[in-house]
Amino acid sequence: MAGAAGERWIGVAMDFSPSSKKALQWAADNLLRKGDTLVLLHIQHHGREEAKNVLWSHTGSPLIPLEELMETAVRQRYDIPSDGEVFDMLNAASREKELSVVLKMYWGDPREKVCEAVGELKLESLVMGSRGLGQIQRILLGSVTNYVLSNASCPVTVVKAK
In a domain, 103, yes or no: yes
In a domain, 13, yes or no: yes
What does the pLDDT profile of the chain (162 residues) look like in tens digits?
555 556 899 999 999 989 899 999 999 999 999 999 999 999 987 655 454 555 555 678 899 999 999 999 999 988 898 999 999 999 999 999 999 999 999 988 888 999 999 999 999 999 998 866 556 555 544 578 888 988 999 999 999 866
Tally the residues of the chain: 162
Q: Is 89 helix (H, G, I), strand (E, B) or coil?
A: helix
pLDDT computed for residue 140 by the predictor:
47
How far is 119 from 142, CA to CA, in rounded Å?
22
Q: What is the DSSP string of 29-40?
A: HHT--TT-EEEE
Backbone angles phi, psi at 152, to 5 degrees: -70, 145
How far is 71 from 80, CA to CA, in rounded Å?
11
In a domain, 1, yes or no: no
* pTM (two decimals): 0.85
In a domain, 37, yes or no: yes
Number of domains in the chain: 1
Quote the domain boundaries for residue 123. 9-160
In a domain, 39, yes or no: yes
C-alpha pair distances (Å), 38 with each of 31, 46, 55: 10, 25, 25
In a domain, 148, yes or no: yes
In a domain, 4, yes or no: no
Helices (H), the chain: 18-30, 51-55, 66-69, 72-78, 84-97, 110-121, 135-141, 144-151
**Cα 151 to the center of its chain, rounded Å:** 16
How far is 15 from 111, CA to CA, in rounded Å?
13
pLDDT computed for residue 70 by the predictor:
93
Burial of 20 (0-12, 13-18, 19+ CB in 10 A): buried
CATH number where 64 lies: 3.40.50.620
From edge to edge, which strands make up the β-sheet containing 125-130? 64-65, 100-107, 37-44, 9-13, 125-130, 156-160
In a domain, 3, yes or no: no
